[in-house]
Amino acid sequence: MTDKIVIEALSLTYSDGVESLRNISMGVRENAVTVLFGPAGGGKSTLLRCLNRLNDLTEIRASAGRILIDGENILDPKTDVIALRRKVGMVFARPVVLPMSIRQNLTYGLELAGEKRKSRLDEAVERSLKLAAIWDEIKDRLDDPAIALSGGQQQRVCLARVLALQPEIILLDEPTSGLDPISTGKVEAALLELKKEYTVILVPHSVQQAARAADFAAFFLQGELVEYGEGKSIFTMPKEKRTEDYVTGRFG
Amino acid sequence: MMKHLRLNRHLTERLGFVGLTLMALVTVAPIVAVVIYILAQGVPAISWEFLTGLPRDGMRAGGILPAIVGTFYLTIGTAIFSVPLGIAAAIYLSEYAPENSLTRLIRIAIINLAGIPSVVYGLFGMGLFVLFLKFGTSILAASLTLSIMTLPVIISTAEEALRAVPQSFRTVSISLGGTRWQGIQRIVLPQALPGILTGVILGLERAAGETAPILFTGAAFFLPRLPNSPFDATMALPYHLFVISTQVPEMPPQIQYGTALVLMAFVLGMNLIATTIRSRARARRQW
């Protein structure tokens, strides 16, 4: 197994000079679920948004370091961010379905890239909905407004919308934070399937979810990567006192 | 003592409620009064000849067709210039403009533009369009003058409508490999369109009813034919109303009220369209 993503000595800074991440180095394995966990404000989401350069929309900039995806430094100003974002898909905490039909939500990204052939679009809709484990539930109402779906269904449609672009890496930023346990279970089950084909990076909404989903886990505390390793060992035998205190619920 | 105080609080609440309700009703009264009065006075003047005929007998008889058509042309002309420019400016301000001193300057300019008295626009339009650019007293010059006056309304309502579209739609569009413009074009603009249209109609409605800006730039005192080029001067309903109310002796009052009624119907009709668009869009909105 190889590292799909290599983060080297990365520091992120707000425009006012405050650091949000300090000197982070880690590799992210292909075909595995890597979990970034820790209390709020630790820099997990910010790191996630670096990987598809979504931070370009904000005041946060990398002040040092590199992020290599397949060996290419994506922080390079010459990077084609549009191609990058198709390769590195993202699912957000709150499901954001676009104000259009379910089908149009799923084909949106492909159409942006100029795909017009109906057969290709239809094929992508079916494939991605099956991957996101929601095809059977909604296949008969693909032309209904996406907003009419339940929250859990919307979030899986959002996941399918990312999958329709056939990305290589999927970033999930607390994707189940607004969902009931049953919907959460469905999303987590979908992730287990997805890691066979994709590199998955998840910011979980609880330590329990982190422990359930993680092949690898990285513990972030106030902008620092405290501990990183296999999920099994981090949640059962953490090396760092701070990790242990957090995992066992002593703070956070 | 305590009991006294409590009673007082309840009494104050009651009085306040009654008083505020009355005052709210008072604000409605003038509008209702104007509409009823103009309807009562104006309806007898309305006839097929009045709406489709040319003025006769020094405007004391016949119809007001040239004024109706003129106001229609001026409104269209104003829309042609102000709508694309206003929407483009609103898109820039809402979607692209960074927060810096240039943007602040633009915003201050727009706010101040909205505060300038309309007669000043008229004078400015005469200087720039009629004399300097040699458009003459014409539909073109008057439309351009009305456009400048209408722009701030269109820009600020369109910008508001664009900003009301949730930021998350733009972020999602970008995260799916879209450019900023693709997100604007495919999601933000269609979602903001009803709000933008409402602003456009309200702006044009104001332009249709104005007298001062067209006074020196395009309005004809009396022109017993229809204009046939953008460089023609034209009669227009608000200016015609001013003329027949103040400049023509022995004017039958019913023609005045008939003209006022037609102008009011024109403007309120546009208002009704704007309200309908807005409420339909609200019912259909998916966010």
Of A82, A98, A113, the CB nearest to B172: A98
Mean pLDDT of chain A: 92
Q: Do B175 and A94 touch (CB under 8 A)?
A: no
Q: Do A82 and B173 touch (CB under 8 A)?
A: no
Mind listing the pLDDT tens digit of every residue in chain B (287 residues)?
555 666 688 888 999 999 999 999 999 999 999 999 999 999 999 999 999 999 888 888 888 999 999 999 999 999 999 999 999 999 999 999 988 899 999 999 998 988 899 999 999 999 999 999 999 999 999 999 999 999 999 999 999 999 999 999 999 999 999 999 999 999 999 999 999 999 999 999 999 999 999 999 999 888 888 888 999 999 999 999 999 999 888 888 889 999 999 999 999 999 999 889 888 888 888 77
Q: Write the CA distances from B155 to A192, A216, B86, B92, integer angstroms.
A: 50, 52, 5, 10
- The DSSP H or E segment spanning A190 is helix A181-194
What is residue B91's predicted lDDT score, i.e. its pLDDT? 96
Rounded to a whole number, what is the distance in Å from the CA of A66 to chain B's nearest CA? 21
Assigned domain for A108 exists? yes
Residue A9 neighbours by CB distance under 10 Å: 11
Q: How confident is the model at residue A210 (pLDDT cuts 50, 70, 90)?
A: very high
| CA terminus-to-terminus distance, chain A | 33
Q: Do A54 and B171 touch (CB under 8 A)?
A: yes
Q: Which residues of A touch B285 (CB under 8 A)?
A: 99
Assigned domain for A64 exists? yes
Q: Which residues of A touch B181 (CB under 8 A)?
A: none
Rounded to a whole number, what is the distance in Å from the CA of A250 to chain B's nearest CA? 35
Q: Do A83 and B187 touch (CB under 8 A)?
A: no
Domain that holds residue A204: 3-247
Q: Do A98 and B169 touch (CB under 8 A)?
A: yes
Looking at chain A, the whole-number percentage of residues with pLDDT higher than 70 is 100
User: Parallel, antiparallel, or unpaired: how do β-strands A224-230 and A33-37 relate?
Assistant: unpaired
CA distance B24 to B10: 21
Q: Which residues of A touch B172 (CB under 8 A)?
A: 92, 96, 98
- Fold for B65-284, please state it: MetI-like fold (1.10.3720)
User: What pLDDT digit, counting tens, does each position of A11-23 carry?
Assistant: 999 888 788 899 9
Assigned domain for A252 exists? no
ipTM (interface predicted TM): 0.91
The CATH number linked to A144 is: 3.40.50.300
Q: How many CB pairs under 8 A join A and B?
A: 62
- The DSSP H or E segment spanning B62 is strand B61-62
Residue B167 contacts A, CB cutoff 8 Å: no
Q: Is the pLDDT of residue A33 over 60?
A: yes
CA distance B132 to B141: 11
Looking at chain A, the whole-number percentage of residues with pLDDT higher than 90 is 81
Task: Please name the residues between 176 and 215 in chain B that touch chain A, using a CB distance below 8 Å.
Answer: 176-179, 182, 186-187, 191
SS3 A199: strand
Of B166, B175, B182, the CB nearest to A90: B175
Q: Do B168 and A162 touch (CB under 8 A)?
A: no
User: Parallel, antiparallel, or unpaired: how do β-strands A33-37 and A199-203 relate?
Assistant: parallel
What is residue B61's predicted lDDT score, i.e. its pLDDT? 85
CA distance B223 to B227: 8
Q: Do B176 and A109 touch (CB under 8 A)?
A: yes
What is residue B4's predicted lDDT score, i.e. its pLDDT? 61
* Structure-token pair, residue B141: 């010059």
* Structure-token pair, residue B83: 């709508």
In chain A, where do the E strands start and end?
3-13, 19-29, 33-37, 61-69, 72-73, 88-91, 169-173, 199-203, 216-221, 224-230
* Structure-token pair, residue A101: 């039909």
The nearest alpha carbon in chain B to A163 belongs to B176
What is residue B1's predicted lDDT score, i.e. its pLDDT? 52
* Structure-token pair, residue B27: 């604000």
Q: How many domains does chain A have?
A: 1
Q: Do A92 and B172 touch (CB under 8 A)?
A: yes
